[in-house]
A and B are shown apart, each in its own frame.
Chain A
Amino acid sequence: MHISHDPWVWLAAILTLAIFSFLYKDNPFFKMAEHIFVGVATGYGFVYTWNNGIYPNLLKPLFVEHKLLFIIPFILGLMYLAVVVPKFSYFIRWPFAFLLGVGSGLSIPLAFKASLVEQIKYTILPNPHGMSIGLFINALLIFIGVITVVLYFYFSTPHEGVMKPITKTGIVFLMVGFGASFGYTVMARFSLLVGRFEFLLGKWLGLLSWLR
């Protein structure tokens, strides 16, 4: 057993235990750790964004290099802060309108192609990685799955007659999808728990010989 002598490791271990104490019930130790986390994350993010974004991309060109064109984003940025003064809060609409316009213009055509056109294309076309019996069965299942699930959400016709077996098949595909998502979610949550135990038992208490 090689207990850590690093005060930062001790601090992290104490804060981890404070967060775990929520398993018993809500308590002041948990609340303290929660607030420290939020405060540190916000401060860290702000300093990084200031040093890597706001200063080199806006303040330096405008005030140090005197590039006057940068006055436009500077004013648009200031308009965001107008929200704290109720009398001038309507100014926030300007930068929002600019951001929405640019964002939509950039992303709508590309997102449409990336997430819709390509997905539809490869529901029908063979797998780009090649074709084998396994991949053919996989492609066929995806094709049947997509059609039956889409039809399950088609509510203009009652799910009766020929629609009944199709939508029932759609439900089976949906359930398999939910099951896979649930299984992955369990794995994700346990991975976080494992990560903390590896830290507590390994870095803090030095009980894990393979982690030293």
Chain B
Amino acid sequence: MRAFFIKLANLNRTIIYLIITLGVITPLVVPLNLGQKMSPPTENLYTYIDTLPKGSHILISADYDPSTLPELQPMLEAIIKHAIIRGVIPMVMSLYPEGTGLGIQACEKAKEELGARPDTDYVVLGYKPGFSAVILGIGEDIKKVFPTNYSGVPLDSIPAMKGVKNYKDIALTVSLSGASTPLAWVTYAYTKYNEKLATGVTAVSAADFYPYLQTGQFVGALMGMKGAAEYEYQVNKLLEKNGFEKGKSVFAVRGMEANSIAHFLIMLFIIIGNLGYFLSKKRREA
């Protein structure tokens, strides 16, 4: 038995890669249908958007690039769909050049699947460089920061932008980011203008943002693919309830199933590795 564990602990890494690959691929090909229960940070964000009056505006900043797409894009798509179903108008912008295309992609999906109308049901504002200047500028007048939408149409002539001047007219700002950009929103939009904020972050930076939930600086948060899957699952249920045939997405839900198997395997490897280490140490001492 001891020899077996020692052998396992010294397993060639190629075999470990292979086991992990199989562990990730299998649940993608054969879905496990585990379901998703909302954690409090996700539930707070979902409830906040769900209870906004019709015609309210939310600002979504896609502050990420394709390198974090698997975790953040499902969040963006789910939030946009949720807002549109509830009659809330999402305004999509980005502080990253690469985020613009991802924002447009998510809006195009909502247009195609839910029949959402650009500039009426949603607005794509596009990209502006300069983090702090943009966030502070929106607090004064959004039309000075974004005189036109992404397609070059002046904001004054866009029906969905009627009555929107600054944060006072924006019920919530959501920053989706793979870096520390949400902190810039906390510093400038929340602290200076008292804007309600929420965030969606990659799992690697999730632990850094929990303290800002405790203080109420974020009304809610989506933490990594887990948060994305929880929100996606809830929006799917809402789509079903409202009789939408298209629009359901299970990208993050399926991804989370693969993640669960991978986590299980990693825990197993840690236990085997440690057992092998201690057993071989004992043998050396003996």
Contact = CB atoms under 8 A, between A and B. Distances in A.
A191 B222 CA distance: 14
Given A190-B263, A197-B28, A52 B126 contact: yes
Nearest to A186: B266
Interface stretch (B82-90, B212-220, B238-246): B212-220
A118 interface: yes
B1 interface: no
B233 interface: no
B130 A53 contact: yes
Interface string A3-43: 00000000000000000000100000000000000000100
A110 B68 CA distance: 28
Given A52-B127, A194-B258, A201-B28, 13 more contacts: A48-B127, A53-B128, A106-B136, A110-B192, A115-B183, A187-B225, A188-B202, A188-B224, A191-B70, A194-B262, A195-B255, A201-B25, A208-B29
Interface string B249-261: 0110011001100
B203 A188 contact: yes
B116 interface: no
Interface of B: 17, 20, 24-25, 28-29, 31, 44, 65, 67-71, 97-98, 100, 126-130, 132, 136, 183, 186-188, 190-192, 202-204, 206-207, 211, 214-217, 223-226, 250-251, 254-255, 258-259, 262-263, 266
A55 B206 CA distance: 36
Contacts of B132: 103, 106-107
Interface in A105-147: 106-107, 110-111, 113-115, 118-119, 121-122, 127-129, 142
Interface stretch (A77-85, A151-159, A165-173, A177-185): A177-185
